[in-house]
């Protein structure tokens, strides 16, 4: 491995930054990786299609299960490209063959559903360790690598892409052409829509796979950088060589500089002696001893010091009264926000009248709040003034007020007909019938310009008085 030929800058970084680096690499190499994915997947797709003909669900399951086979060539390509060795066309069959290596067997069997697949793949393909060592190595590398999260995120991206494609097809097929049945696309494996859905899923897999593999590879590199100090090694390797003129001098001085002192060189301790020496050092009173040292330091002006202390206290912990004020302020703001929210929801539930209608509603006369005697006096006054039209209008409004008191709620939009209908349906016959007569007379007077006779109004008035539970005095 020639670390100095790395095309990416290696440094210890958190897992998410490593994944980001992987995504950046995938973006840079996407056309080549995508084509490589299809080079492996397409033949397999056709073979499985021939084997599982008319069973689209089996076909899809088999293709999904064999995903590590298509990902292996991608990893090999990326591992070479990272060290600035773009594989030639001649190397492609070898890389495609990598998908069939027996090393991948764990990923196709018991490790297929492992969430760390992205990290296991470089370990299997690039390191080639025996099984026991591989297991220990995986434990070391996987710690804090977020490879499980990577699998989860990529799985969701695949699902979103697949659903998006399916929905896009569903929505964009013009009316008149045979469309896609979404239910069948998800459930009915015999339907053509299911095949389309499967093809969409395969396409989504092909689009996400380069990102998944590169991100896994970047995680792998990041962990090795962190554990093995690749970045330091790389820094040393990339350090500029010493100037040529200095080399002969260094060569001459080397024995002097590097050679150990003669005494030590002669008495290079044997392991037993070294152990004894170590024990001696450990036992010596100076090793691990603590000492108390007393010294004098300059002290600032006490006044200045107290001010500084106060400032430090102020910035560190606010006074209790301020904390209380802030707390109550926040509670008040929260309560106001809650009230605004409730009000908005309430308005949402009961749509307001448009401004034009509201204005008219506000302008509309409210039922008179006068007592029955007032109504009667008013009606009689209008009759005396020879205005039976106005009198029947007043009687109608008084009747509405009375209906309201009887518990018949009449909305502002209730016309004469709807008032009569409601009164007949909900109130006793002795109320409904006279009210219908009053409403009819009012309609003729108001809209037909046909005023009732004074006698008719008197008759209706006496009916109305009976509603009130009073006897007719006249």
- Contact residues: other proteins, CB under 8 A: 175-176, 351-357, 360-361, 364-365, 393, 396-397, 400, 411-418, 443-444, 446-450
Output the CA angle 229-234-235, nearest 5 degrees.
100
Nearer to other proteins, 118 or 394 (CB): 394
* Least distance in angstroms from the C-beta of 363 to other proteins: 8
| Radius of gyration (C-alpha) of the chain in whole angstroms | 46
Q: Which is nearer to other proteins, 283 or 449 (CB)?
A: 449
Q: Which is nearer to other proteins, 121 or 419 (CB)?
A: 419
Closest separation in Å from C-beta 338 to other proteins: 23
Nearest to 201 by CA among 213, 186, 218: 186
Task: Tell me the Ramachandran region of residue 241: left when phi exceeds 0, alpha when psi lies from -120 to 50, beta otherwise.
Answer: beta
Closer to other proteins by Cβ: residue 397 or 456:
397
The CB-of-368 to other proteins minimum distance in angstroms stands at 11
Cα–Cα–Cα angle for 296, 302, 303, rounded to 5 degrees: 160
**Which of 226, 416 has the CB closer to other proteins?**
416
- φ and ψ of 310, to 5 deg: -60, -45
Token pair of 114, please? Answer: 């492992």
- Residue closer to other proteins, measured from CB, 124 or 445: 445
CA distance 413 to 410: 8
Angle at CA of residue 189, ends 184 and 191, nearest 5°? 55
For other proteins, the closer CB: 4 or 360: 360
Nearer to other proteins, 158 or 378 (CB): 378
State the minimum distance, in angstroms, from the CB of residue 118 to other proteins. Answer: 40
Q: What is the closest distance, in whole angstroms, from the C-beta atom of residue 145 to other proteins in the complex?
A: 44
CB of 418 to other proteins, least distance (A): 7
The number of beta carbons lying within 10 Å of the beta carbon of residue 119 is 24
What would the two tokens of residue 356 be? 């034009």
What stretches of 262-371 show up as alpha helix (H) in DSSP? 262-266, 271-283, 302-316, 320-349, 355-363
Q: From residue 391, how far is each of 301, 431, 467 by CA, in Å?
A: 98, 20, 18
Would you say 239 or 345 has its CB closer to other proteins? 345
Minimal distance, residue 412 CB to other proteins, in Å = 4
* 229, 12 contact by CB (below 8 A): no
Is residue 113 a contact partner of residue 103, using CB atoms and an 8 Å limit? no
Residue 33: C-alpha distances to residues 145, 153, 222, 438 (Å):
24, 20, 21, 87
- CB of 212 or CB of 464, closer to other proteins: 464
């Amino acid at each position: 491995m020639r670390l100095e030929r790395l095309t990416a800058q290696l440094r210890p970084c958190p897992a998410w930054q490593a994944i980001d680096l992987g995504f950046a690499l995938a973006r840079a190499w996407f056309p080549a990786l995508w084509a490589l994915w299809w080079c492996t997947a397409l033949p397999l797709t056709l073979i499985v299609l021939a084997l599982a003909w008319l069973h689209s669900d089996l076909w899809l399951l088999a293709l999904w299960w064999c995903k590590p086979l298509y990902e292996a060539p991608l990893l090999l390509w990326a591992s070479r490209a990272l060290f600035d060795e773009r594989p030639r066309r001649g190397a492609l069959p070898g890389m495609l063959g990598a998908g069939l290596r027996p090393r991948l067997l764990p990923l196709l069997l018991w490790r297929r559903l492992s969430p760390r697949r992205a990290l296991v793949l470089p370990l299997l393909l690039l390191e080639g360790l025996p099984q026991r060592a591989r297991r220990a190595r995986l434990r070391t590398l996987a710690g804090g690598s977020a490879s499980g999260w990577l699998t989860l995120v990529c799985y969701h991206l695949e699902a979103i892409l697949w659903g998006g494609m399916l929905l896009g097809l569903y929505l964009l097929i013009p009316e008149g052409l045979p469309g896609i049945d979404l239910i069948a696309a998800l459930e009915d494996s015999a339907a053509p829509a299911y095949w389309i859905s499967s093809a969409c899923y395969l396409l989504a897999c092909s689009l996400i796979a380069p990102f998944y593999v590169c991100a896994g590879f970047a995680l792998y590199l990041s962990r090795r950088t962190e554990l093995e100090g690749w970045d330091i090694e790389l820094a040393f390797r990339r350090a500029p060589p010493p100037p040529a003129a200095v080399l002969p001098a260094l060569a001459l001085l080397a024995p002097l500089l590097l050679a150990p002192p003669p005494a030590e060189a002669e008495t290079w301790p044997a392991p037993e002696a070294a152990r004894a020496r170590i024990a001696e050092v450990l036992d010596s009173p100076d090793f691990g001893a603590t000492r108390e040292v007393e010294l004098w330091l300059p002290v600032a002006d006490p006044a200045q010091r107290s001010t500084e202390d106060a400032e430090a206290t102020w910035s560190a912990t606010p006074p209790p009264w301020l904390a209380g004020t802030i707390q109550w302020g926040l509670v008040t703001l929260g309560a106001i926000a809650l009230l605004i929210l409730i009000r908005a929801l309430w308005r949402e539930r009961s749509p307001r009248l448009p401004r034009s209608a509201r204005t008219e509603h506000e302008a509309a006369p409210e039922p008179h709040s006068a007592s029955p005697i007032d109504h009667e006096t008013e009606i009689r006054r209008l009759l005396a003034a020879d205005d039976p039209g106005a009198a029947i209008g007043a009687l109608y409004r008084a009747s509405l007020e009375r209906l309201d008191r009887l518990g018949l709620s009449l909305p502002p939009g209730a016309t004469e007909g709807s008032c009569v209908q409601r009164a007949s349906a909900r109130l006793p016959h002795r109320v409904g019938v006279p009210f219908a007569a009053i409403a009819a007379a009012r309609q003729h007077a108001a809209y037909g310009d046909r005023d009732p006779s004074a006698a008719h109004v008197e008759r209706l008035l006496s009916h109305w008085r009976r509603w009130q539970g009073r006897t007719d005095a006249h």
